[in-house]
Amino acid sequence: IVLTQSPATLSLSPGERATLSCRASQSVSSYLAWYQQKPGQAPRLLIYDASNRAAGIPARFSGSGSGTDFTLTISSLEPEDFAVYYCQQRSNWPPTFGPGTKVDIK
Amino acid sequence: EVQLVESGGGLVQPGGSLRLSCAASGFTFSNYWMSWVRQAPGKGLEWVANIKQDGSEKYSVDSVRGRFTISRDNAKNSLFLQMNSLRAGDTAVYYCARGLGAAAAVLTLWGQGTLVAVSS
């Protein structure tokens, strides 16, 4: 299953709302996760099964969608949120990741 | 502290072998699916392999099947990746990661990664 993320880069200011999209080449039901990765660091799980926040993830991060279209929303960007975000499906083997969306400071 | 620490990366010639290790601490290692995920320099994430809690089930992606073998030693809280017949395309940071309960492919805990460079 191929995942496509848009936009490739999102330039925003702190305090603004970020909306990231992930589209699957076929239905993945709700088996979609979102990860955040900062330079030189390992990825961190944010959302799993489309809308469940992982432990310790702030409420400003939310996920939605099912089937082939998914959204990660960051309600109000904090300075530490500028990073690359990957979606990942686990509906079919092998699990696959999208190419990522970079959220950078405008 | 709950953590995963990888080791064993380095520079290897094409056709060579390496064995990566991942030491787990701070949680009951034998309760979790474990996985290896890699990231080529400046690129995205690619699943490599995963293994069930008791080692009875193992899965790997097509690009490494027959060359890489995932294994674990629950008595030593350790995960391994034996990599043979290495190619330039295997150059990447290799992360070990822990699954979320029965959801093997939801990765809740990651190590810091170990770099494997395949070059002559």
Residues B41-92 have pLDDT tens digits of 999 999 999 999 999 999 999 999 999 999 999 999 999 999 999 999 999 9
Residue of A nearest to B104 (CA): A90
Q: What is the percent of chain A where pLDDT is above 90?
A: 100
8 A C-beta contact, residue A35 and residue A88: yes
Q: Which residues contact A3 (CB under 8 A, 6 or more apart)?
A: A22, A23, A24, A25, A87, A88, A89, A96, A97, A98, A99
Mean pLDDT confidence for A1-23: 97
Residues B38 and B93: their CA atoms lie apart, in Å, by 5
Residue B103: the pLDDT is: 82
Distance from CA of A88 to the nearest CA of B (A): 9
CB < 8 Å to B111, chain A: 42
Residues B8 and A35: their CA atoms lie apart, in Å, by 25
Return the sign of the alpha-carbon dihedral for residues B76, B81, B83, B89: negative
- Tell me if residue B15 falls in helix, strand or coil: coil
Residue B99: the pLDDT is: 95
Distance from first CA to last CA of chain A, Å, rounded?
33
Mean pLDDT confidence for A36-52: 97
Residue A27: the pLDDT is: 97
pLDDT tops 90 at residue A12: yes
| A39/B contact by beta carbon, under 8 A | no
Residues B45 and B63: their CA atoms lie apart, in Å, by 14
Query: With bands split at pLDDT 50, 70 and 90, how would you rate the model's confidence at B101?
Result: confident
Residue B63: the pLDDT is: 96
Which of A90, A91, A92, A102 is the mutation pick for testing B, counting most B CBs within 10 A? Answer: A90
Mean pLDDT confidence for A83-99: 97
Write down the mean pLDDT value for chain B.
97
Q: Which residues contact A76 (CB under 8 A, 6 or more apart)?
A: A15, A16, A17, A60
| A45/B contact by beta carbon, under 8 A | yes
Residues A40 and B7: their CA atoms lie apart, in Å, by 16
Cβ atoms within 10 Å of B55's Cβ, excluding its own: 14
Residue A105: the pLDDT is: 92
With CB atoms and an 8 Å threshold, state whether B45 touches A55. no
Mean pLDDT confidence for A6-25: 97
Please write the tens of the pLDDT for every residue from A20-35: 999 999 999 999 999 9
pLDDT tops 90 at residue B102: no
CB < 8 Å to B110, chain A: 42-44
Mean pLDDT confidence for A77-90: 97
With CB atoms and an 8 Å threshold, state whether A99 touches B44. yes
Write down the mean pLDDT value for chain A.
97
